Amino acid sequence: MRVPRSLPIIVLTALSLLGLTTQAAAAPGKYVALGDSYSSGLGAGSYGSSGDCKRSSNSYPQLWANAHGPSAFSFVACSGARTQDVLNNQVGAVTADTALVTISIGGNDAGFASVMTDCNLSSDATCVSRNETAQNYARSTLPGLLDGVYGQIRAKAPNARVIVLGYPLIYKLGGSCIVGLSETKRAAINQSSGVLASVISGRAAAHGFTFVDGRTAFSGHEICASGARWLNSVTFPIEESYHPNTAGQSGGYYAALRAVTG
C-alpha cells in the first residue's frame, strides 16, 4: 500500500500539538545552593578545593546540578555556617534570574554541634539540660534569624522556587545500638531535631517556601536503625560526625529534593 506523501507532515503536526515531538528539554534556570554543612556535604567526602567549607561532589546540590544541568549553578553552602554567615557570604549569589534556591540553616545558630559534644562527654542530666537550652533558643530566637535570611532570599529572587531542607533525626530510638550514648541522651537529641523541624518548617511556610522534612527523608536510616545508616556516628575526622554520609546525601536529601522538583 502506498503511503501518502503528506502523512509524515500530518503525523509531525499531530505530535507537535500533543507535545510529543522529540525536542531536547530546556535546561532549568539558575540554581543557588545555600546553607550549612548538611548542604555543603560535610561527611560525604570528596571536597575538592573548597577548603573549610567542605563542599562535597557527593552532596545533594551537586547531584541535583549534575542530573538537571541548570543554566548556572552557584554552590556556596559552607560547613559551620550560621544565619549571619548566609547573609554576609552566601546570599549575594542569589540574583533576580535565579530559578531555584535550596538551603539548610539554623542548626549551628541553636548550638547543635556543641550539644553533640556535651552529650558525648557529659552525664545524662547535662545532656538533657543542654538540649533544653538549644530548644529554647530555637523557639525564641531562631525564628527571627530565619526570617532575616528568608526575606533576603525572596527580595533578591522574587520568582525563585525556594526549598528549605530540614535536619534528620540522629537516632532510631529503641534501635540496634548496643554501645554509645544512652537512650536518654538519644531521646533528648531527637527532641531537639524535632523542635528545629517545627520552627524551620513554620518560618519556611510563612515565606511561601517548600519545606523538605529531613526526618522523613532519613526515616529508617538513622544511627541505630536496622537499615543502612545514612548518618555518621562518631568518626574521624571528628567534624564529620553526625552528618549525612554519601548514601545519606543521595538516598536521603537528593531523593527528597527530586521528589519535589522532578
**CATH code (residue 121):** 3.40.50.1110
Determine if the pTM surpasses 0.85: yes
pLDDT tens digit sequence for 134-176: 999 999 999 999 999 999 999 999 999 999 999 999 999 999 8
Per-residue pLDDT band for 28 (boundaries 50, 70, 90) equals confident
pLDDT of 26:
59
Question: Residue 13: inside a domain, yes or no?
Answer: no
Q: Is residue 206 part of a domain?
A: yes
Percent of the chain clearing pLDDT 70 (strictly above): 90
User: For 62-91, what is each residue's pLDDT tens digit?
Assistant: 999 999 999 999 999 999 999 999 999 999
Cα–Cα dist 60/212, whole Å: 13
Give which of 161, 150, 165, 34 is closest to 99, Cα–Cα.
Answer: 161
**CA 131, 243, 107: angle at the middle one, nearest 5?**
40
User: Does the residue 11 lie in any domain?
Assistant: no
Give the residue numbers spanning the domain of 175: 25-261
Give the model's pLDDT for residue 221.
98
Asked if pLDDT for residue 55 goes beyond 60, the answer is yes
251 part of a folded domain? yes
| Domain assignment present for 9 | no
From the candidates 6, 16, 37, 123, which is the catalytic residue?
A: 37
In a domain, 42, yes or no: yes
207 noted as active-site residue: no
The mean pLDDT value of the chain amounts to 92
Any residues with CB less than 8 A from the CB of 131 and at least 6 apart, and which? 115, 119, 188, 189, 191, 192
d(CA 127, CA 233): 17
91 contacts 157 by C-beta, under 8 angstroms: no
pLDDT tens track for 99-147? 999 999 999 999 999 999 999 999 999 999 999 999 999 999 999 999 9
Domain contains 138: yes
Q: Which of 74, 221, 241, 243 is catalytic?
A: 243
Residue 92 CA: distances (Å) to CA of 25, 65, 141, 161: 29, 19, 24, 17
Annotated catalytic residue 50: no
Q: Name the band, by pLDDT with cuts 50, 70 and 90, for residue 179.
A: confident
Q: Count of domains in the chain?
A: 1
* 242 located within any domain: yes
